[in-house]
Structure 1
Amino acid sequence: MNDGISNGIIEKVIPYTDITVSRLIFAIIVLIAGFISVKFLVYIFRKGIQKTKLPGLTTQFLAHFLSILLYMIVILIFLKSLNFDVDSFVIGISAVIGLVLGLGMQDTLTNITAGVWVAAIRPIDTGEMVVVNGQTGKVRAVGIMSTELLTPDNQLITIPNKLVWGSSIVNMTRMPTRRASVDVGISYSSDIEKAIVTALDIMKGHPLILKEPEPAVVTTELANSSVNLQLRAWTKTGDFAAVKNTLTSGIFEAYRREGIEIPFPQMEIHVKEVKREIKETQVKGIGIITLD
């Protein structure tokens, strides 16, 4: 009799649903077993993928992605065991996932296409010093999705390929020669011809400066405090930094030796004194001071 009562309870339909108690118990068991299985499978997957020596961030991402996927499958099996129609739900989820992947893959495909163009046309190459999207550094790698630059102070910059291909690129080491320019200002009281000759002598005697094109000195500006000159010298690209540094220090020492003044920024202020007489007048018994 007790077995009959138990069977009756188990087969009893839950109010407002067509789900029996036995089916609900079975679904809960499936859900619990599924969650335990997911944790076990993700653990095994994480241990296995760690042996591949992939970066920790990649391992974590793949493990999270797998766990979410497995949990969704377990929940769908749970709903299916309760006689829910999950087919339409799966179709809807698939459509949403397809849309999300399509939107996400749009940038991915753009980066891949841009990477192909960069690799094919080669506006930049490994080891070259470039300015890309406002970032300056030596090209470390051009990958499928992004380009890596290494700055002079050893910072790694990763730029998506679509930004590399879609922006202006300044390649500072592609050409065999470059012009080094050094700006210097002399005072208005200095001899400008002497300053130009002194600068030319420094550049013509420099061993790393090319004879052709000839070095030159030009007047660039009549500024507030100085007459600004620019030293222009051509050199091999590999010697550019050394030439610019030695010219900067060399012109300073030469002008100081020759008595050519390099002025500090200055401003003249003329103060005009105005004499004022103070007169006191009386208006209705109140003293008022006026200024003339």
Structure 2
Amino acid sequence: MNDLNGLMEQAPDLIMTYGIKLIFAIIIFIVGKYFSNLARKITVKLLKKRKIDDTVVSFVGNISWALVFTLTIIATLGQIGVQTASLVAVVGAAGLAVGLALQGSLANFAAGVLMVLFKPCRVGNYIDAAGVSGTVDEITIFSTRLLTPDNKVVVVPNAAIMSGSITNYSAMDTRRVDLVIGVSYDADIKQAKQILCDILENNQYVLKDPAYTVAVSELADSSVNFVVRPWVKTGDYWGAYFELTETIKLALDEAGIGIPYPQMDVYVKETPAA
């Protein structure tokens, strides 16, 4: 009876103490939930301004919301007297376990975010990365889809692409075609050079600016080698390459200028019979 009377006497103080804590806990929860949503909205807005893929925007926005909301729950429980140290340890251990289990996927995700942010390549670019060459067809948060020139589909993890060098053949508007043309030592070098220059001057793909280069680069074992380096629009590269190669061969043949090729002369020496 005395214990009950004592409890009744302490009730107003207990209600006052824990009531205030409960009110503050509710306020912390409401404010924290508001800031969780605000963090997601701000993150989404900032990422969309940078024209980042919607999938990445949604994923990162949800992560920012989850982080702030988790801190809100911990702060709310701490306000009403729950020991949160063990809870933080459990959450940290769970996060570590999930991170270790998904470290490959997380690495690909992080690389995908970096690719979207820094744009080393875009959809439609022809690139060489992770030992694969092809046209970028799609960039997702975990992998990049490439189409090879023979129309194969290759899916490359983003981490593999970002961990090495990326050669982007489509990044610039113009590209240089590098050809090495060898003529025989008996040929008239000036005539051969003039023929090469005339071909470049009249070719539909070759640009006037930057200027092309035609020059003797090497006196090789069996030929005098010219470097032929015209500039073309990036989209015209292979058309220019194939057309110039054929046109040069036909023009040199017509002028009677030989193009040396590897050959072996065999001499048979007869030995008189004994």
TM-score bin (small chain): 0.5 to 0.7
> Does 2:168 align with 1:167?
no
Quote the offset at 1:191 in angstroms.
1.3
Q: CA distance change for structure 1 residues 266 and 221 in 2, over 3 Å: closer, same or farther? A: farther
Quote the offset at 1:219 in angstroms.
2.2
| AA at the equivalent of 1:261 | G
Larger proportion of strand:
1
Cα pair 2:99 2:106 within 8 Å, conserved? no
Larger Rg, first or second structure (1 or 2): 1
| AA at the equivalent of 1:196 | K
Cα pair 2:205 2:232 within 8 Å, conserved? yes
Paired positions, count: 181
Equivalent residue runs for 1:75-94 within 5 Å: none
- Of the three residues 128, 131, 137, the one matched with 2:128 is 131
Cα shift readout 1:86-138 (whole Å, capped 9, x = no counterpart): xxxxxxxxxxx998754331111111101000011001000111111121100
2:100 and 2:271 mapped to 1: Cα distance? 73
User: Which consecutive unaligned segments of at least 5 residues does structure 2 have?
Assistant: 1-93
Quote the offset at 1:257 in angstroms.
0.4
- Of the three residues 218, 221, 243, the one matched with 2:218 is 221
| AA at the equivalent of 1:266 | Q
Q: CA distance change for structure 1 residues 220 and 267 in 2, over 3 Å: closer, same or farther? A: farther
Larger proportion of helix:
2
Q: CA distance change for structure 1 residues 191 and 121 in 2, over 3 Å: closer, same or farther? A: same
Q: 3-state SS of the aligned residue for 1:251? A: helix
> Does 2:212 align with 1:230?
no
1:273 and 1:121 mapped to 2: Cα distance? 73
1:240 and 1:140 mapped to 2: Cα distance? 20
Q: 3-state SS of the aligned residue for 2:151? A: coil
| AA at the equivalent of 2:168 | N
Show the counterpart of 1:205: 202
Cα pair 2:126 2:135 within 8 Å, conserved? yes
- Of the three residues 146, 151, 172, the one matched with 2:148 is 151
User: Which consecutive unaligned segments of at least 5 residues does structure 1 have?
Assistant: 1-96, 279-292
2:184 and 2:264 mapped to 1: Cα distance? 13
**TM-score, structure 2 normalization:** 0.60
Quote the offset at 1:269 in angstroms.
6.4
Quote the offset at 1:246 in angstroms.
0.9
2:216 and 2:143 mapped to 1: Cα distance? 44
Q: 3-state SS of the aligned residue for 1:208? A: coil
Cα pair 1:225 1:267 within 8 Å, conserved? no
After superposition, the CA RMSD in angstroms is 2.5
Percent identity over the alignment? Answer: 40
